[in-house]
Every structure is written in C-alpha cells, then in structure tokens.
Structure 1
Amino acid sequence: MKKIILMLSILLASCTKDFQEINTDPNGTPVALPQQLLAPALVSTLTYNMLRNRNFNNELMQVTVDPSDAEGKVFRYDYRATWADYLYNGWYSELTNFKDIYKIASQDLNYNKSYMGISLICQSWIYSMLTDTYGDVPYFQSNLAKDSSIYEPRFDKQKDIYLDIFKKLEEANTLLSVGTVISGSDPVYGGNVQKWRKFGNSLYLRLLLRLSGKAEVSDSCIAKIKEIAETNAANYPIIASNDESAILRWTGVGPYSSPYLSVREQDFRAPGLGSFFIDHLAAWNDPRIDIPTYGTNNINRWGIAPYSGTFQGIPSGYAPGENPVKKSYFYSNTSASSLMTEPLTGMMMNYAELKFILAEAAVKGWVSGSAETYYNDGALNSITQWIPTWPVNIKTFLSAADIEWIESETPDQKMEKIHLQKYYALFLTDMEQWFEYRRTGHPVLPQGSGLKNNGVMPARMTYPVYVQSTNPTNYKIAVAAQGPDEISTQVWWQKP
C-alpha cells in the first residue's frame, strides 16, 4: 500500500509540474476575451431554450401532442421530476459565461463597455426565465463558487430578483448608449449595439408587464412602462421593426446550426399538432400554413404537413385509451423546408410581441395610443416576420378571419383577442407562452378529460432533486418561504 501511495504521489507531482506554463498558449491570452465568449454562450442558451420549448412548453400549451398512454406525458400535466434538471443546469452554466463577459469587459472600459451592457441584458434574460420557471432561485450568490467559494448559495425571493433585474437593465441602457462590439462576435445583431439596447428595453417592458398585476409593485411597474413607451421614449429606445427582433438566425455554417438538427427526424415529426394550435390557423386561412402561395416542396412556412389535404390536429389532454389519430405534424427534413433548418427558430424576442405588450397596456389605460393599432401591428408583424412579402391588408385579413378589433368588447374579451394573437407571436420563444398563460389565463385553452394536477396548468417546475442534498439548508428555507416544491405551488407574481 505504501508503494502504491508513493507512486501516485510521484505521478501527481509529474502531472502538475510546470502545468501552467505547459498549458498556456505563448502567442495568446490565458483569459478568454468577451468577443470569444459571447457567441458560444448565446448558442448554448438558445439550445436549452429551443429543446425545452419543443418538448415541454409546446406540450403544455397545446402546440403539439406527443400521443401515448405512457406515464409522464406533459400534455396531460403529468410532470416527472426528471424534467427539472436540464434548464436549471444549462441556464446557470451559461450565466457563468455571461458574468465572465461582464467581468473581463469591465477591465477595458473604453472598448468593452458595450460587452458589459450586452452581458447584463443576457443575464437579465436568463435569470427571468429561471425565476419564472422555478420561482425563488439562487441569484445574488449564484455562480460564485470559483471566485468566492460559495458552494451553497441562498435562494432569493422572486420579488428581489426582479427588482435587481430592473437595475441591470437600467445599467445596460446607459452602457449601450455609446460604443461598439466586433461584428463577428455577435450572431444576433452583427455588432449593432443600438439594436441590443432596443432589445434590452423591450425585454424590460416584457418583465414590467409580468409584474404589473402584483399589487405591491404594480404602481411602479405601470409608471415605468409609461416612461419607457411614452414619456421618456427617447432615452429608452425599443424594437421598431421585424429587422430589429432579437433572433439568432441559424446559418447552418459552423457553430450556427440549429439545435433542432440534434433531434432525430423520426422524433421531430412524432408529436402531432394540437387542435388548438392548428385549428385557428386553418380557420383563418393563415398564410403561415398556406402551401400554394408561400410554400416550397409542398411544405408551408412553418413546415406543417397537411393531413388528407387539410390541416387537422389532436385534442390535447385526451384520456388514456381514447387514442386519437395523429394528423398534421411538423415536417422533418434536413434538406427541405422545415423547422429543423429554419433560420428564425433562434427566437429571443420579436417585434410582434412588443406590439402586443403595448396593446395590453393601452387597453388598461397605461399608455396613450390606439390599442387597435397596436393589435393590428402585432398581428401584421407576427405574419410578416415569416413572410416579409405578404401582400394582404391586415384589416382585411382580420375581418375575414373574424378576429378584427372591436372597441365595444369587454376588457376581458380584448385580452383574449390580444393573447390569442400573442400566442402565435410567441411561437418558438422559450417558455413565454407558458409564462404568459400563467399570468393572464389567456388564451383560454380547452381542457381534456385526461388532465392531471386537478386540471390546473402547472405553475412551475420543481427544483432538481440533487439540490436537496447539495444545498439542503437553503433548499428547505426556500420551500418554507415559497410553498411546497410541487408544480401546483404558484410563484410570487402569480399569487393574489
């Protein structure tokens, strides 16, 4: 035994001797630069978002139905604890990269101030998704194991997280008022710092709206919405066209290949489309599923395969044993028109979403301007994001589809109308459809007899099981404060 220990000691000494000198590039820097970290962090974050959007958000929100009587089917609200780890681990991993961008960039304020602003926007984006998915999460002490040896971070209250996110977005707006970034390092805006600034302020509006119904912060949130959108708009530029939407457009070259290509083709087309999702589009004669005019290879813009010449879906939440026939589905083909190779699937936030945010604010009297105009603009840009040359007048389209704006309708009817269109604008955007449904209850989704969780939409994901053993004290404090670690426990902004 002594000989074995001695040999191991020698081997370890040999392996570590001159390790730093041997493994340092003499022609480069031992520290990654912001322009080297940004693109990989964005690609990785969107990979997590897109894959869980596909198999979790879309199943909850009746975009798709993965038909089976097996246990653990999300479309039945049959949640399994194993769903928790992927986003939690992935998002925190990328937060380390974005925080490194800020830290390294802060050492060169003349050139890298813009990278600091972009980092703050991306941190705000990820933290908002984390807290909206899980509730109270580590925030102020997160990602500090390397620098501060904090291995068991406390869980912070969602209210405190949101208020600090707002501070980050304020700082980003100031940092990005001037400056530049290397175009090749930025796969979202190609180095256009002002477009990043507009995204940051548009994200700010999204998150302010999310808290606007919470009594203890509603007044300040509503006032800030009005300031950004109206009274101080010059100092808070926001997304102003589809070209300014925050989208990482997949080119298929190098690292910019869609994460959907990692899904086997037979798995990608396995879920059928939900009736709720496809029936509206079919009834409206929506151009995004119109084959003859806009399609290629007999597949439409969203890569939806017809069924017997029409578009039909599966009712979501059906009871075990009913076994409905799969009909329309998302086509899978890596060499033809399908979402697997679609450049626009790297969705972070689009112009149409912003218009629907303003439409809701106008209905509630928080901003001036016509709610009808915002609504029409949102519906138009939701379509032209995908079909820029669409020739139809939006009012004509909405009237023919019987979804035109009617000023005499009740506020709740107007909310349903706005959020039904917003539902389609949020297609492919991480978990936003789920977040907005939890906030508003719109659009109203049909409920099948096979739903679990008492037929109530899950309010959150549970924490990963390993957190209970790796951070037990803070886990217990969080559960005691927020409520049981169950999918039925509402997060702070959902609670009355």
Structure 2
Amino acid sequence: MKRLSYILLVTFAAMVGCKKGFLDINTDPNNPTVASLPQLLVAAEQGLAYDLGFTNDNRGARGLTEVLSVYMHQVTVRESQDQYGATGTQFDINNAWSDFYSAQGVNSSADYIGFLENVEVMIRQADASNSHTYAGIGRVLKAYGFSQFVDAFADIPFSEANKFSTEVLRYPKFDKGQDIYPELFKLLDQAIGDLSATSGNQIAPTTDDLFYGGSRDSWIRLANTIKLKLYNQIRLTTNVSAQVTALVNGGKLISGWDNSFMMKYGKSPSPDDRNPGFSEYFATQKSHYQSPWFYEIMKGYNPRIFTGIVDPRIPYYFYTQNKVDAPSAGGGTDYRDSAFISIYFGSTGPNRDRSQDGSMTVFGIYPVGGRYDQGDHIVVNASSGTGAAPLRLLTYADVLYIEAELMNAGVLAGDARATLRAAILESFNQVDQVVNLANGGQSIPKLAGTSDVAYANKIMGVYDAGSTARKLEVIMTQKWIQSFGFSCDQYTDYRRTGYPILFDPGNPQQAPGGFVQPPINGDPSRPGVPQPKVRVVASRKYPLSLPWPANELNVNPNAPAQKQPDTYPVFWDK
C-alpha cells in the first residue's frame, strides 16, 4: 500500500468532536502549515475506514463494526457489547465518534485518523482553487459518512458541526436524522456536478485517492449508488419509486468489483497497513469469537432458514485452530461443533470464560485477510495470513441485493428472483476477489463457476417457496452473510426490515427455558459424551440506535440528555 507515504500530520485548527479543546496551530508566516489537498484526502479516507470497520487501537482504528458485529450476531465477545450492553462510555463508540469529527495524530505513529475536519478543509480549499474532483470527492465522503452516523446514532451534530475554525462555533446542536437526510441528497447532487465539471481541476487526485485512484466516473457511480441505498432505507416512510427507477435506469451505479467502494489494505507489518481486524491474529489475548448463530445458519443447522444447505464459503469465512478430534486447549467449551469452537451470545455457562486462544475458531481469509481453512488446524499468529482483505463498504453485490429488495417490495420494476440469484453469484465472486488480494501462498480453490451455482439453486428453492415476506427474509439473510466484516449496513437493514432473524436468548423457540443446546455429539474428543446445555440471558432489549458517547455529552452544553437506546429509533425505522 502507498498511503503511508502520503500521511502527514495536518496542523490546522480543528474542532475535536465536541471536546473543549482544539488543536494548536503554528502561525509563523515563514513556516506555513497548510495541509495540501492530497494530504487531506488520504487522511479523510483512512479516517472514514477506521471509524466504520474493526478496531486496532495501536493503529488508531476504533470502528463501529467492533460493536455492531456483535449486535448483528456474526461475532461473540465477553465484552460490554455482549447482551447489548455497550453504553455511552464504551471505548469504540466514544472513539469512533471523536475520530469522525476530529483530526488528530495517533501515538506519534505514521498512521493518521480524523475524518470530518479533513473533509471540510479539503472542500473549502478545492472550491477556492477550482479543483473540482477533490471537491466532489469530499462531498461524496461527507454525505456517506454522515449517513452512516445518522443510521447508527439517529440524531447527531450536522448543521453546526466542525464550524469552529470558520464561525468560532464550539458546541454544535444535534440535528434530527430526518432533517439531515435531505441535505445528504443535496450534497451528493452537488458532488456529481463537481465530478462532471470539464473546466478547472487545477489539481486532480491520483494515488492519493485510496478508494478509486482519482477516477471521476467511479466516484459518480458511488454517489448515485449511495443515493440508491439511502432511498431504499427510507422507502417505508417515503414514496421513492420514481427516484430509484431513475437511478437504476440511468446506468451510472456501481457495476462490478472493480468500482466497488472499499478500502484496500496491504500486507506490510511495519509500517502496519493491514486490515485492522487482522490484529486478532497477533493479539496478546484473542477476543473475537465467531458467532454460533451465524455459523449454524451457514452450516445448514438452523431450523428456520436454509435448513440442510451447507454454505461453501465456510472455510473462507472461518479458520478452525483446534484439531477435529483433539481436546480444546482451554479445557471445556461453551460451544463446539467438531473443530469449530466458540462461545454463545449472552452465555453464563461455566466454560464461557475459559481461555481458548489456541483453540477458538477465528476470522478466515475473507473478512480480514486471515487464513483459509484447509484443515491444517494451526494456532494462528501474524504470519498465518496477510491481513490484506479490503474493508468492503458498498459493493456491486450490495447493489444487487438492494435492487432485489426494492423489486420484491414493488418499489422498482424488475425480476427480483433473477436479481437475487445474480447477487448470490456475485457474492461468491467477491470472495474469490478478496482471496486474490489477500492470499499469502496457500492453495485456495475458486468458488465462482464451481460450487456457487449449486448453492444458488438451493437458495432459490427456498425463495420460490416463500411468501413476499419470506422472500424478503431470504434476500436480507443472504445480504447479511455476504457482508461479513462490515456490520454498519447490516445493523441498518435489520432495524428496517426485521431480517435476518437474530439469536434471542429470551425466545423460547431458540432457547427453551433459557438454555441452548450445542450439537449433542459436537465434541469428538469425548466420544459418546453429549455436550451439556448452556444457560443464556439478554439483560437488555435490542438497541434501536447506539447511545451517544459520554465524552460528547459531558462537554457539549447543547447536547441532549442520554437516550434509552432500545426506545430511540432512527427516523426511517417504522
């Protein structure tokens, strides 16, 4: 990756979220310290990825997926987000928020975080110099970033955010999500105008654009695709048929893997440019267990959805450290199915807190650039993978799932079945593309053109047998499976549609009497000894939005009182 050579400390006055202080600036006229457009763009793009992905604090990455992957039941942990317990003091929520609104260096490292302030300064400088491509990119990034934070937190500072350097406004008010969304559509339209401009462009990005290398066509496609995504998210509150039809018929959406919106990471450990989620491979203590609920749906064990259908992507998604017939290195297990070892969401079982570092199942090659599971069952470390899997923010597969959802709902004309099938096949191609980027020398079979068609046929059988609501469940569950590694849109989709069905310790069908049963004979190291049931609880209701960070509420007199997350929905949640 080339981005580290571009990342420099940006030393302009910056509002740090809503913290009381702001960064000092050297005003020596003989030594001006104005960040260049390339520096600002690199910092903003990296900051956005860090705010939304997994956490690696040593890199300055503190992202919302760290919490939301647990809320969306793809990861299980022993930390506060278990049982929906993340409060306003939770580390990742506080830091993702402050890093979103601020610009600051991290631990004197070569990495640089900070999103919104960098974007705002970049837009101002680009407008002043007629550098239309930078201005357009900045507005697309701003619209996308704010949309994600509205979708996560509901109401956030927007109209008065980051106005200290221009209006000496230190404590911004919180705007309602329904008031912010229309402004985001305006930003995107303005961005498309900037990116379509044929005059000006005195300075145009190239390799400093980590997402698209300066391709204006790709940024225009992204802007339109974000609009499609946002219209889909408000379809239950607003008639958006005309808007989505025009976008789809316009033919200027993300159209393939090559123009998908993703942060591509590298393989270098020093300076570290790997996917932040790959830090699990060399962590002092591993903490990201792979959700049994997610695994069992892919394995075909779930009695409600895709029963008996084994997903061929399993060895790409998960890596099993423990040998099939060997005892767990940590002793008793909370959940075990052959070599797959994990813990349940909400578990209070006697084996939940055992150290399973050398036996637990970890991320595979697909989500974070870990190891493909070829059955070698090694205890992973930093050399077991590359970490070069991209953070997939908005891909061609996502576009197809969005279109299938709109068609199924009757909002967009078209064949929902054919579009869903295309989305599933593209999801398999997506895995192959990630393998091409992240493979460190393993012999890894391709999925596309082999097992993808047979799997898609089985899923279409489930789809064909269902009602309109059941068809929506199939679409959203497949979208959830393919988006493993980025949970922000999953969280939005679940609250909008109610799908996929998630594990609920209080559901008597899922956990009769408050207990769940691991596979009876799931521990081959103890033949003939059935695995015991595990007690599970959920002490809190599902959060309809994330709590506002305590750091913000404590210093901003214009901030509201803390919300009750399970009763405070985003405006589109009907």
Whether the TM-score (by the shorter chain) exceeds 0.5 is yes
Is the CA contact (8 Å cut-off) linking 1:210 and 1:493 kept in structure 2?
A: no
1:228 and 1:122 map into 2 onto residues whose CA distance is 19
Asked if 1:329 is matched to 2:359, the reply is no
Q: What is residue 20 of structure 1 aligned with on the other side?
A: 28
Instruction: Say which of 422, 435, 440 aligns to 2:497.
Output: 440
Asked if 1:100 is matched to 2:121, the reply is yes
Q: What is residue 147 of structure 1 aligned with on the other side?
A: 166
2:244 and 2:297 map into 1 onto residues whose CA distance is 31
3-state SS of the aligned residue for 1:493? Answer: coil
1:345 and 1:263 map into 2 onto residues whose CA distance is 16
3-state SS of the aligned residue for 1:151? Answer: coil
> CA offset at residue 447 of structure 1?
1.0
Instruction: Say which of 422, 426, 429 aligns to 1:384.
Output: 429
1:255 and 1:128 map into 2 onto residues whose CA distance is 29
Instruction: Say which of 251, 273, 278 aligns to 2:295.
Output: 278
**Cα 1:40/1:412, change in 2 over 3 Å:** same
* Amino acid aligned to 2:543: P
Is the CA contact (8 Å cut-off) linking 2:119 and 2:138 kept in structure 1?
A: yes
| 1:422-471 C-alpha deviation (Å, 9 max, x unpaired) | 002222225221121111110001212444354x3211221122333422
Q: Cα RMSD (Å) of the superposition? A: 2.6
> CA offset at residue 56 of structure 1?
0.8
Aligned pairs (5 A) from 1:209-228? 209-214=232-237, 218-219=238-239, 221-228=240-247
Q: What is residue 57 of structure 1 aligned with on the other side?
A: 68
Is the CA contact (8 Å cut-off) linking 1:133 and 1:460 kept in structure 2?
A: yes
1:191 and 1:444 map into 2 onto residues whose CA distance is 40
3-state SS of the aligned residue for 1:385? Answer: helix
Asked if 1:82 is matched to 2:89, the reply is yes
Aligned pairs (5 A) from 1:445-460? 445-448=502-505, 449=514, 450-452=536-538, 454=540, 456-460=541-545
Consecutive unaligned residues of structure 2, counting only runs of 5 or more, are 1-23, 56-62, 103-114, 301-308, 325-337, 364-369, 371-379, 434-445, 506-513, 515-535
User: Percent identity over the alignment?
Assistant: 21
Q: Give TM-score, length-normalised by structure 2.
A: 0.71
> CA offset at residue 313 of structure 1?
5.4
How many residues align? The count is 439
Greater fraction of residues in helix: 1
Is the CA contact (8 Å cut-off) linking 1:76 and 1:316 kept in structure 2?
A: no
* Amino acid aligned to 2:158: Y
* Amino acid aligned to 1:115: Y
Query: Which region of structure 1 is more displaced relative to structure 2, 405-414 or 137-146?
Result: 405-414
Is the CA contact (8 Å cut-off) linking 1:349 and 1:429 kept in structure 2?
A: no
Asked if 1:157 is matched to 2:214, the reply is no
Consecutive unaligned residues of structure 1, counting only runs of 5 or more, are 1-15, 25-29, 291-300
3-state SS of the aligned residue for 1:160? Answer: helix
Query: Which region of structure 1 is more displaced relative to structure 2, 38-47 or 355-364?
Result: 38-47
Aligned pairs (5 A) from 1:147-296? 147-178=166-197, 181-214=204-237, 218-219=238-239, 221-230=240-249, 233-234=250-251, 237-252=252-267, 256-260=273-277, 265-266=282-283, 269-283=286-300, 284-290=309-315
> CA offset at residue 345 of structure 1?
3.0
3-state SS of the aligned residue for 1:47? Answer: helix
Q: What is residue 354 of structure 1 aligned with on the other side?
A: 399
Is the CA contact (8 Å cut-off) linking 2:160 and 2:172 kept in structure 1?
A: yes
Is the CA contact (8 Å cut-off) linking 1:247 and 1:344 kept in structure 2?
A: no
**Cα 1:321/1:336, change in 2 over 3 Å:** closer
Q: What is residue 36 of structure 1 aligned with on the other side?
A: 39
| 1:349-370 C-alpha deviation (Å, 9 max, x unpaired) | 1111111000000111122221
Is the CA contact (8 Å cut-off) linking 2:405 and 2:416 kept in structure 1?
A: yes
Asked if 1:320 is matched to 2:328, the reply is no
Is the CA contact (8 Å cut-off) linking 2:428 and 2:452 kept in structure 1?
A: no
1:406 and 1:58 map into 2 onto residues whose CA distance is 26
Q: Give TM-score, length-normalised by structure 1.
A: 0.81
1:306 and 1:420 map into 2 onto residues whose CA distance is 27
1:267 and 1:121 map into 2 onto residues whose CA distance is 38
